[in-house]
């Protein structure tokens, strides 16, 4: 979120309108800029090592039924080898 500088303070009703607009536009996007929705399938675009395990998810792995999080840069999912996985959207493309 970028800091916005202005000479005069913003009225509270203006702030409410600004947060509503940013909530609508704050949708998670994949590496190509395609908007991701709940339940979509995605493909990995890079080999990823999973922290805490010896598993490496290979490029091209299909991950089905993603769940969105509060952070637009992260999604939750289950891969074949790892359950309860959190992935960054910059390493995904919509399938």
pTM above 0.85, yes or no: no
d(CA 19, CA 33): 22
Domains and CATH numbers, the chain: 28-94 (2.30.30.40)
* pLDDT score recorded for residue 3: 44
pLDDT digits (tens, 9 = 90+) for 21-79: 555 557 899 999 999 999 999 999 999 999 988 999 999 999 999 999 999 999 999 99
* pLDDT score recorded for residue 26: 76
Q: What dihedral angle (degrees, nearest 10) is formed by the CA atoms of 3, 5, 23, 12?
A: 130
- What letters, b where the CB count within 10 A reaches 16 and e where it falls short, cover 18-43? eeeeeeeeeebbbeeeeebeeebebe
d(CA 9, CA 40): 41
């Amino acid at each position: 979120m970028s800091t916005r500088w202005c000479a005069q303070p913003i009225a509270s009703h203006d702030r409410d309108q600004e947060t509503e607009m940013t909530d609508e536009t704050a949708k998670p996007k994949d590496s190509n800029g395609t908007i991701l929705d709940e339940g979509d399938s995605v493909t990995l675009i890079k080999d990823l090592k999973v922290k805490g395990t010896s598993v490496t998810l290979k490029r091209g792995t299909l991950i089905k039924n993603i769940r969105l999080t509060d952070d637009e840069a992260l999604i939750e999912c289950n891969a074949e080898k790892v359950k309860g996985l959190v992935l960054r959207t910059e390493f995904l493309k919509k399938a």
